């Protein structure tokens, strides 16, 4: 059975999904890629917007979320932390 994702896993998946889409993503795609419910996604997005890891921008065809430099930096730190976890068997 797959391990239940924790808060950091979900944030990593969301930020990775934005990066994989070229740095910007529609909320519906983010919800689908992040494997989240609408309510869950809203909660995490508010946190990421508050931390300035993502920005909300209106575009033709609806609003988009774009990853900021701070968001890329944070995603890098999470990946570094995950490698540390793997190495130390946490």
Partner 1 sequence: MGLSAHVMDLAYGSDIYFDIVAGIILLLAFVVVWKYYRINKAQTKYKHLLIGFGMLFLSYLFKIISHFKIYYHSEYTHQVGMYTVTHHMVNASNILVYSGLLLHRILLILGFYALYRTYSCKESRKTMLLTVFLLLAIGYLSASAYVVFHLTVLFILLTLTSTYMQRCKADGSTRTKLLAYSFGILALSQIIFFLTVFWIDLYFLGEFIQLAGYFALLLTLLNVISYGKKARPH
Q: Which positions touch partner 1 (CB under 8 A)? A: 6-8, 16, 19, 72-73, 75-81, 83-90
Q: What are phi and psi of 48, to 5 degrees?
A: -70, -35
- Cβ 83 to partner 1, closest distance in Å? 5
Task: Specify the residue, 63 or 85, whose C-beta has the smaller distance to partner 1.
Answer: 85
Q: What is the gyration radius of the CA atoms in the chain, in angstroms?
A: 13
User: Which residue's structure tokens are 């889409």?
Assistant: 21
Task: Specify the residue, 46 or 85, whose C-beta has the smaller distance to partner 1.
Answer: 85
Strands (E), 1-90: 24-25, 54-59, 62-67
Task: Specify the residue, 38 or 81, whose C-beta has the smaller distance to partner 1.
Answer: 81
């Amino acid at each position: 059975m797959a391990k239940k994702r924790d808060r950091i896993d979900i944030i990593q998946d969301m930020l990775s999904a934005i990066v994989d889409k070229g740095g910007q993503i529609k909320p519906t795609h983010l919800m689908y890629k992040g494997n989240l419910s609408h309510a869950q996604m809203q909660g995490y997005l508010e946190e990421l917007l508050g931390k300035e890891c993502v920005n909300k921008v209106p575009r033709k065809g609806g609003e988009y979320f774009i990853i900021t430099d701070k968001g890329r930096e944070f995603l890098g730190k999470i990946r570094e932390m995950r490698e540390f976890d793997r190495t130390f068997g946490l």
